[in-house]
Structures are given as C-alpha cells and as structure tokens.
C-alpha cells in the first residue's frame, strides 16, 4: 500500500487543482454571499466526469475509488466547501445502490448517476432522530406492488437538485421493526419539500426537509432486503466519512494558505508577523495538524478502496476505525485551524471582505454531519474494546 499518493494520483490532483482554481475559486465568495446553489459548478462537474469517479466501469464509470474522491473533495474545498458537498451527497446516496442494489437497479441508475443526469440526496435524519438513527419514525407499509411511506426527513442536503431521495423507513410487522432503504422519486405523489434552512456556513448548499404523506414507492425501488436499511446506512457512512475528512483538510488548507501569505507580508513591530513566535508557532501547529489529518484521511480512503475490491459490505474494524478517526481528527483540525487563521489576520480576519470568516463558518459543520464527532468517538471506543495495543496492524 503506497504510504501517500502515487504518481498517477498526483497527476490527477494537479488536474483537479487547476480546475478548482479556474472554475471554483472565482465563484466561491458570491455563492456564500448570496446563499445560492452553484448550478454552474454542477454543470462543470459533469463536464469533467466527476460523478463517474467511483462508478464501476461496467456501468460507464471510471472506477477510481475513494482516494480519488478525497483528492477532489480536498482540492475543491480549498476554495468552496459548498461546491464539494455536491459530490459528497451524490456519492453518499449512490453508495447504497453500489453496495446493496440489485443488478437491475445498478444497470438502471448507475450510468445516469455517473453522468449527473440523475442527482440524488441522502435523507436519513429526522426531527427526532439524528445521532440515534435507529430511532427513526418514518414508516413503510407493504401494499400490492410496493410500499406506502409516511414520515418527515430533515437537513437533507441538496434536496433542491435531487431527482431521487435515498431514504429509510421502518416496516412494522409482528412486533418487529425493520429499517428498510428506499429510493423515492422526487415527483412522487405525496412527497413535499419543506422550508429551506438558513445556515451559518455551507451557504451554497441547500438544506431542506421533506414530508412523505402516503407516498407509494414501487417494490423495484427498495434497496436491499427488508430490514437491511440500518446496515446499509452504516456501511455507506463508513465509506464516505473520509470524504468529509478530505473536505475538512481542504477547508483547513485553504485557510492556512491565505493566513500564511498574509503573515509573510503584514508588518508589525518592524517585521512580518510570521517572524513573531506567537504567530509563527501558530502556523507551525496549523500545518502540522493539517498534514497529520491528510495522512489519516488518505490512509482511511486507501483501506476502504482495498476492502471494496475484496467485495466486503461491512468493513474490517480497522477500516471502520480509520474512517471514524480521519473524519473526527480532520474536522477538529479544520475548526481549530480556521479559527487560528482568522486570528492571524487580526481585525481583518473578522471582516467579510476577507475570506477567512467563511472558512471558519464552513469548517464547523464537518464536526457535525455524517455522524457527529461524539459519535465517531463511540465508534472508535467500541472497536478499542478488542484492541491489543496502540499499533493497528499494517
């Protein structure tokens, strides 16, 4: 296993970096200021086949895996985390089809997901069920040819662009509650979008709620077997968490680059502020933590790629632990680094004409979504119960 990136991956990184600088950077400020979903960036993503990255070749994809996805997340997030979330959502939601869909569902959906002709959203969270995802209240009742779904989902990222929602509901039968995964067409009768939430950060990503009132879902749109939904959700999030880690590394990296340049030029007490230890040491801590976070993120992504090739639905404890550690550490790093970057700019850091306050606002959510960091600590704690020493086997 390469320790870091291979030469092919570095070449790809350079390509995406150029794309991000040319296409994403000039738009980032306006996207945040206006709270507008970047439809133009979505179109540009399609042109460079971003949604094909992790689609198997058999279904028209590039089959490049999670290391490549993390490279994109990192590079785009250096300029605009709202834009990178478009890929995150498409990947998280399409994972359920990749890991648990039937052959027919894969053939029907994956090629169009790859081209972006079908956009997805992932709707697990409910008003009364966030971290405790098993306590969802949405229900599915079996009827002739399908299911009738009722319930409310909230905090659905990019619900505005989704053609289908991946969602989870409980089938209640003989005292058993079977969480089951469904793909619900947006045009379904009885499906209604709720208010669009106003947010602290990630203002270019549209976060909405949606209500299901007697929504009929055809049997062909149930993903996996009845009762497999929770396992599918966990297995999906295990895979996609390092992408949030990569998003956090990108946000932290973008903020660091800006603060570094500023500290090299800003003169106080007769010399650049970087030369004052109080500032220089802050930057030293920042770059060290960013690099440590990057190593964790790419190690987690590589482990996931390896285990995906081995055809596993549930990962080894090692991969699950790295996935949780990478998301947790990278998001803590991003929150800390972006706050330090604002500090380095002094009063200017607090002003909206400088970009760093946006990075600070965007970083915060990486500690919350895709499982809060408290929940990541639970995942790690539970695996540690069987751990013999601090070295995870290579």
Closer CB to ligand FAD, residue 126 or residue 305?
126
Contacting residues toward ligand FAD, per CB under 6 A:
89, 122-125, 130-131, 155-157, 199, 202, 207, 365, 368-369, 371-372, 374-375
Residue spans of alpha helices (H) in the chain: 7-19, 25-34, 39-47, 66-77, 81-100, 103-115, 229-265, 277-309, 317-344, 356-364, 373-384
Burial class (CB in 10 A: 0-12, 13-18, 19+), 267: exposed
DSSP 113-125: HHHTSS-EEEE--
Please report how close the Cβ of residue 386 comes to ligand FAD at its closest, in angstroms.
Answer: 20
Which lies closer to ligand FAD via its Cβ, residue 150 or residue 160? 160
User: Left (φ > 0), alpha (ψ -120 to 50) or beta: where does 391 sit?
Assistant: beta
Closest separation in Å from C-beta 196 to ligand FAD: 12
Residues comprising the chain, all counted: 394
Sign of CA dihedral 256, 328, 358, 273: negative
Residue 370 designated active-site: yes
Q: Least Å distance between CB 383 and ligand FAD?
A: 16
Please name the residues in contact with 27: beta carbons below 8 A apart, sequence gap of 6 or more: 38, 40, 41, 80, 83
Using CB atoms, what's the residue nearest to ligand FAD?
Answer: 130
Smallest gap from Cβ 156 to ligand FAD, in A, equals: 5
User: Which entry of 9, 336, 370, 393 is annotated as an active-site residue?
Assistant: 370
Closest CB to ligand FAD among residues 23, 93: 93
How far is the C-alpha of 13 from the C-alpha of 75, rounded, in Å? 8
Nearer to ligand FAD, 283 or 365 (CB): 365
Residue 379 beta carbon to ligand FAD: minimum distance, rounded to whole angstroms: 11
Nearer to ligand FAD, 16 or 244 (CB): 244
* Token pair 């996805």 in the structure block, residue: 69
Active centre residues (catalytic): 370
């Amino acid at each position: 296993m390469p320790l870091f990136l291979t030469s092919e991956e570095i070449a790809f990184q350079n390509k995406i970096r150029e794309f991000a600088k040319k296409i994403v950077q000039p738009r980032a400020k306006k996207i945040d200021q206006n709270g507008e979903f970047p439809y133009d960036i979505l179109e540009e993503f399609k042109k460079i086949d971003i949604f094909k990255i992790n689609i198997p070749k058999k279904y028209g994809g590039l089959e490049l895996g999670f290391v490549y996805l993390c490279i994109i997340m990192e590079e785009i997030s250096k300029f605009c985390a709202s834009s990178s979330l478009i890929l995150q959502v498409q990947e998280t939601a399409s994972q359920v089809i990749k890991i648990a869909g039937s052959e027919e569902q894969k053939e029907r959906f994956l090629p169009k997901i790859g081209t972006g002709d079908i956009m997805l959203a992932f709707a697990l969270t409910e008003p009364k069920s966030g971290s405790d995802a098993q306590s969802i209240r949405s229900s599915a009742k079996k009827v002739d040819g399908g299911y009738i779904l009722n319930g409310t989902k909230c905090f659905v990222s990019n619900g505005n662009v989704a053609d289908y929602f991946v969602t989870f509901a409980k089938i209640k039968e003989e005292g058993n509650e079977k969480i089951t995964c469904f793909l619900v067409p947006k045009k379904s009768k009885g499906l209604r979008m709720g208010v669009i939430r106003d947010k602290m950060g990630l203002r270019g990503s549209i976060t909405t709620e949606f209500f299901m009132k007697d929504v009929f879902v055809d049997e062909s749109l149930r993903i996996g077997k009845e009762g497999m939904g929770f396992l599918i959700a966990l297995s999906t999030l295990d895979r996609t968490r390092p992408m949030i880690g990569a998003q956090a590394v990108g946000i932290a990296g973008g903020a660091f680059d800006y603060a570094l340049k500023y500290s090299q030029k800003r003169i106080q007490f007769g010399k650049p502020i970087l030369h004052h230890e109080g500032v220089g040491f802050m930057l030293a801590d920042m770059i060290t933590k960013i690099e440590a976070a990057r190593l964790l993120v790419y190690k987690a992504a590589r482990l996931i790629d390896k285990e995906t090739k081995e055809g596993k639905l549930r990962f080894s404890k090692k991969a699950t632990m790295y996935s949780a550690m990478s998301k947790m550490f990278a998001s803590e790093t991003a929150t800390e680094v972006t706050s330090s970057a604002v500090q380095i700019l002094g009063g200017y850091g607090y002003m909206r004409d400088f970009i760093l306050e946006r990075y600070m606002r965007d970083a915060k959510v990486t500690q919350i979504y895709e499982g809060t960091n408290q929940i990541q600590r639970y995942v790690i704690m539970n695996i540690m119960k069987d751990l013999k020493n601090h070295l995870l086997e290579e």
